[in-house]
């Protein structure tokens, strides 16, 4: 895994990180951009990313600015989170904690905060022996690369036994001159292939006692020395530092192994595979027997006999719950308005599992939001809704899913929704809301997930069609989305989705369906492959609902016990 453990407070520069703008071109530029991407994000750049970076450098952006931006993008954050878990807990992060920490890094939390909390976690404490002496010995070895001296061990053990917080011991070691100096040595060796001079070691050691390792990593990746080494490194045999595709226990699995550089063709070997999976040529195939996350060792050999190996994460999620189909493609659907916009309306045209929604040219605004549900579907507590968003007149059309939809006799509508973000054209984010038409402001957000790594390639958003599924289960609203040019991802794949705890009072029975909003006059959108399911058991008997305009009897509000919050730092690592 990468040695880049930290994400820094942005903007720090030193004499070793002054802007470098000397011209690079041709193969030298290609090699440089390849290595920046590999070292800082764990993957080779796509053609679109390479083109974007080339344009930015040609437009006058300094290499320092470029590497600073790259080291803070979502791919870099993912690598940093995975690296921290691998180096501290020797396992991949769970999907939930991967999502949580990437959101925190996006909000400028230093990844050193993650590293410190993992070192101070109860999980690590138990794993190394669950005694003050065992954790002190482990922390010294892991952070400083040596055992503590006898007197110092006794002092720290006595403090911990008296209740002194482990996180304070970790912070002291991590931010010490000795700890920071060791990280400086590792970053120099990794990125420029040598030890730092005494002068620069001292300067960077002082820096890293105050800021994150990313500052140094970005500075080294912008240096002339790094540029000169790039051509010799970029052609080497390479395996990306990326997890393998997430699988589901009990479902067929297949994913291809890929290498680059060296001399094709490549031969692969893999050790540590979960039960049920095997390597066939360059593909992992089979049916995984049970859930779990682990590291597997992948080795690639090229035609010239060169070999490279990497530990990569492989996660298998729990088996799918029992599902009973609810949506009758031949049956009627009901629509309801969540937010009105004057007298505007939509026109709905459906054939089987295809729905086309249009805003008449006579509409005057674009704030109308609606839900669509199968008319004869039962009101249930655990359900799933899926569809393919096939086309839309513009990116500003807001597609989504609706769950726990309830209608009262007074016309009050309540629902949970997951919708494509349209603010600032950041279409790769998805927003979670509660809707209650009886509130003065009907919608209240309770979360957002950002899927830029699945939908954004440089500045290019993936074209429709997109697949999506949302489900309510065990107190959570879970969502996944993917460009349909790719295979449908597993639930629990953090590249394509996440789950967020449902607010108190909202985890109750309702109907599952779909959402559509923000069509401008004359705009249209189309959904295909519309399906809904009852989860975790047979569906209750259905009863026809009144015709549109006559609302069904309200479903009693059931305030469910809140699911447990994610464990705080120091209690469980996730």
**The pLDDT value given to residue 20:** 52
**The pLDDT value given to residue 25:** 77
**Going along 318-392, which residue ranges are E strands?**
323-325, 333-339, 347-351, 354-358, 369-374, 383-392
**The pLDDT value given to residue 74:** 96
- Kindly report the CATH number that applies to the domain delimited by 247-317: 2.60.40.10
The pLDDT averaged over each successive group of 10 residues in the chain (574 residues) is 38 42 80 97 97 95 96 96 96 95 94 95 97 98 97 97 96 96 97 96 94 94 96 96 96 96 96 97 96 96 97 96 92 95 96 97 97 93 97 97 94 97 96 97 96 96 97 96 96 96 95 98 98 78 38 30 33 35
Contacts for 171 with CB less than 8 Å, ≥ 6 apart: 116
**The pLDDT value given to residue 112:** 94
Q: Structural domain boundaries of the chain?
A: 15-120+165-234, 247-317, 323-535
Eight-state DSSP code of residue 143: I
Burial class of residue 430, CB neighbours in 10 A (0-12, 13-18, 19+): buried
Task: Please state at what angle helix 74-89 crosses helix 111-119, rounded to 10 degrees.
Answer: 20
**The pLDDT value given to residue 566:** 34
CA distance 420 to 481: 10
CA angle 216, 219, 221 (to 5 degrees): 110
Alpha-carbon distance values, 218 to 28, 56, 187, 222, 493 (Å): 19, 17, 10, 6, 29
**The pLDDT value given to residue 573:** 35
Specify the pairing of strand 277-280 against strand 283-286.
antiparallel
Architecture field, domain 323-535: Sandwich (2.60)
């Amino acid at each position: 895994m990468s040695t880049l453990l930290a994400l820094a407070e942005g903007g720090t520069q030193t004499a070793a990180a002054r802007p470098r703008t000397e011209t690079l071109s041709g193969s030298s530029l290609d090699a440089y951009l390849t290595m920046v991407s590999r070292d800082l994000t764990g993957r080779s750049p796509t053609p679109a990313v390479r083109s974007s970076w080339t344009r930015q450098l040609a437009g006058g952006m300094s290499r320092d600015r470029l590497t600073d931006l790259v080291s803070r993008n979502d791919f870099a954050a993912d690598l940093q989170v995975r690296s921290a878990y691998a180096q501290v807990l020797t396992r991949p992060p769970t999907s939930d904690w991967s999502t949580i920490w990437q959101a925190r890094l996006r909000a400028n939390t230093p990844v050193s905060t993650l590293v410190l909390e993992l070192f101070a976690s109860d999980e690590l404490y138990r794993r190394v022996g669950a005694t003050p002496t065992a954790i002190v010995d482990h922390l010294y070895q892991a952070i400083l690369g040596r055992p503590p001296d006898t007197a110092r061990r006794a002092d720290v053990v006595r403090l911990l036994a008296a209740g002194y917080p482990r996180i304070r011991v970790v912070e002291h070691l991590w931010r010490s001159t000795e700890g920071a100096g060791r990280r400086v040595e590792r970053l120099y060796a990794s990125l420029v292939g040598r030890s730092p001079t005494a002068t620069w070691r001292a300067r960077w050691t002082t820096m890293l006692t105050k800021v994150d390792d990313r500052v140094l990593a970005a500075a080294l990746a912008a240096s002339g020395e790094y540029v000169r080494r790039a051509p010799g490194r970029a052609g080497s045999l390479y395996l990306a530092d990326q997890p393998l595709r997430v699988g589901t226990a009990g479902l067929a699995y297949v994913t291809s192994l890929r290498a680059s550089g060296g001399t094709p063709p490549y031969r692969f070997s893999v050790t540590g595979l979960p039960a049920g999976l095997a390597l066939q040529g360059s593909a992992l195939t089979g049916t995984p027997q049970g859930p779990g996350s682990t590291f597997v060792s992948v080795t690639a050999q090229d035609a010239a006999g060169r070999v490279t190996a990497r530990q990569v994460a492989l996660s298998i999620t729990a088996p799918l719950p029992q599902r009973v189909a609810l949506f009758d493609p031949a049956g009627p659907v009901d629509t309801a308005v969540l937010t009105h916009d004057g007298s505007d309306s939509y026109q709905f045209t459906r054939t089987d599992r295809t729905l086309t929604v249009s805003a008449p040219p006579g509409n005057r605004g674009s704030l109308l939001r609606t839900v669509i549900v199968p008319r004869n579907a039962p009101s249930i507590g655990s359900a799933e809704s899926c569809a393919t968003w096939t086309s839309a007149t513009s990116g500003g059309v807001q597609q989504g899913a609706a769950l726990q939809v309830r209608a009262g006799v007074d016309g009050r509508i309540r629902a949970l929704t997951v919708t494509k973000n349209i603010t600032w054209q950041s279409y790769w984010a998805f927003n979670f809301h509660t809707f209650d038409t009886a509130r003065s402001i009907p919608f209240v957000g309770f979360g957002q997930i950002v899927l830029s790594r699945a939908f954004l390639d440089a500045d290019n958003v993936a074209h429709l069609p997109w697949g999506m599924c949302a489900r309510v289960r065990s107190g959570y609203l879970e969502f996944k989305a993917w460009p349909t040019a790719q295979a449908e991802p597993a639930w629990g794949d953090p590249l394509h989705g996440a789950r967020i705890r449902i607010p108190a009072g909202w985890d109750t029975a309702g109907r599952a369906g779909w959402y559509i909003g923000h069509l401008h006059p004359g705009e249209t959108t189309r959904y295909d492959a519309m399906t809904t399911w009852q989860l975790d058991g047979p569906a209750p008997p259905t009863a026809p609902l009144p015709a549109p305009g006559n609302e069904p009897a309200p479903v009693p509000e059931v305030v469910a016990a809140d699911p447990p919050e994610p464990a705080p730092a120091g209690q469980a690592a996730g």
